[in-house]
Amino acid sequence: MLTINRGLISLFLFFIISNCQQQKQVEETTIAKKEGVIAQNGMVVTAHPLASQVGLDILKKGGNAFDAAIAVQYALAVVLPKAGNIGGGGFMVYRTKEGENGALDFREKAPLKGGRDMYLDKKGDPIKDLSLKGHLAAGVPGTVAGMDEAFQKFATLPFNEIIQPAIDLANNGFELTEYEANSFNRLQDDLKKVNNHTPYLVREDEYQEGDSIYHIDLAKTLERIRDNGKDGFYKGETADLIVKEMKAGKGIISLEDLASYEAKWRKPIIVNYRGHKVISMPPSSSGGLVLGQLLKGSEYFDFPSFGVNTTKSIHVMTELQRRSYADRAEHMGDMDFYDVPIDMLLEDNYTKNRISDITMDSATSSQVIKSGEVSTIESFQTTHFSIVDKEGNAVSITTTLNSFFGCKVMVDGAGFFLNNEMDDFSIKPGVPNQFGLVGAEANAIAPGKRMLSAMTPTIIEKDGKLFMVVGTPGGSTIITNVYQVILNVIDHGLTMQEAVDAKKMHSQWLPDRIIIEKDCLDSLTIDSLQQLGHEIKEINSIGRIEAILVKEDGNFEGAADRTRSGDAIALGY
Ligand code: DON
Report DSSP letters for 441-481, one per residue: GGGB--TTPBPPB----EEEEETTEEEEEE----TTHHHHH
Mean predicted confidence (pLDDT) in 501-509: 97
Query: In 3-state terms, the chain is what percent helix, strand and coil (to 5)?
Result: 40, 20, 45
The single-letter code of the amino acid at 404 is: F
- The DSSP bridge pattern shows strands 536-539 and 514-517 to be parallel
| pLDDT confidence of residue 24 | 44
**314-329 as b/e, with b when 16 or more CB fall inside 10 Å?**
bbbbbbbbbbbbbbbb
- Asked whether residue 209 carries a pLDDT value surpassing 70, the answer given is yes
User: 272 has which bridge partners?
Assistant: 277
CB 490 within 8 A of CB 482: no
- Asked whether residue 14 carries a pLDDT value surpassing 50, the answer given is no
| Residue among 231, 107, 77, 91 at smallest CA distance from 150 | 91
- Asked whether residue 150 carries a pLDDT value surpassing 50, the answer given is yes
Please tell me whether residue 166 adopts helix, strand or coil conformation.
helix
Residue nearest to atom 2 of ligand 1 (CA): 453
Which class for 197: exposed (0-12), middle (13-18), buried (19 or more C-beta within 10 A)?
Answer: middle
User: How many Å apart are CA 168 and CA 567, to the nearest integer?
Assistant: 20
User: How many Å apart are CA 359 and CA 9, to the nearest integer?
Assistant: 9
Please tell me whether residue 384 adopts helix, strand or coil conformation.
strand
| pLDDT confidence of residue 116 | 97
- Asked whether residue 179 carries a pLDDT value surpassing 80, the answer given is yes
Mean predicted confidence (pLDDT) in 194-215: 97
Peptide bond into 199 cis (omega under 30): no
| pLDDT confidence of residue 11 | 42
User: 410 has which bridge partners?
Assistant: 417
Q: List Cα–Cα distances, 161 to 148, 219, 357, 392, 462, in angstroms.
A: 14, 15, 56, 22, 34
Which segments of 342-410 are extended strands (E)? 380-388, 394-403
Q: List Cα–Cα distances, 279 to 50, 374, 458, 504, in angstroms.
A: 28, 30, 6, 22
Mean predicted confidence (pLDDT) in 337-356: 94
Q: Which atom of ligand 1 is nearest to the CA of 424?
A: 5
**pLDDT category of residue 170 using cuts at 50, 70 and 90:** very high
Tens-digit pLDDT profile for residues 36-89: 999 999 999 999 999 999 999 999 999 999 999 999 999 999 999 999 999 999
Question: What percent of the chain has a predicted confidence (pLDDT) above 70?
Answer: 92
Please indicate whether residue 434, judged by its CB atom, sits closer than 6 Å to ligand 1. Answer: no
| Cα-Cα end-to-end distance for the chain | 51
**pLDDT category of residue 225 using cuts at 50, 70 and 90:** very high
Please indicate whether residue 424, judged by its CB atom, sits closer than 6 Å to ligand 1. Answer: yes
CA of 523 to the centre of ligand 1 (A): 31
- Asked whether residue 357 carries a pLDDT value surpassing 80, the answer given is yes
CA of 476 to the centre of ligand 1 (A): 7
CA of 291 to the centre of ligand 1 (A): 16
Give 358's contacts (C-beta < 8 A, 6+ positions apart): 7, 316, 319, 320, 364
Please indicate whether residue 474, judged by its CB atom, sits closer than 6 Å to ligand 1. Answer: yes
The catalytically annotated residue of 96, 177, 382, 383 is 382
Mean pLDDT of the chain: 93
Q: In a mutational test of the pocket of ligand 1, which residue from 109, 334, 382, 438 has the highest number of ligand atoms less than 8 Å from its CB? A: 382
**pLDDT category of residue 381 using cuts at 50, 70 and 90:** confident
Is 359 an active-site residue? no
Tens-digit pLDDT profile for residues 457-490: 999 999 999 999 999 999 999 999 999 999 999 9
| Residue among 396, 400, 383 at smallest CA distance from 558 | 396
CA of 19 to the centre of ligand 1 (A): 37
Residue nearest to atom 4 of ligand 1 (CA): 475
Give 470's contacts (C-beta < 8 A, 6+ positions apart): 386, 396, 457, 458, 459, 460, 482, 485, 486, 545, 546, 547, 548
Mean predicted confidence (pLDDT) in 271-296: 98
Q: How much is the pTM?
A: 0.94
CA of 469 to the centre of ligand 1 (A): 19
CB 380 within 8 A of CB 473: yes
User: How many Å apart are CA 552 and CA 35, to the nearest integer?
Assistant: 13
Go through the domains of the chain in sequence order and give each one's CATH number: 43-95+104-264+379-442 (no CATH), 266-378+455-572 (3.60.20.40)
Longest dimension (CA), the chain: 68
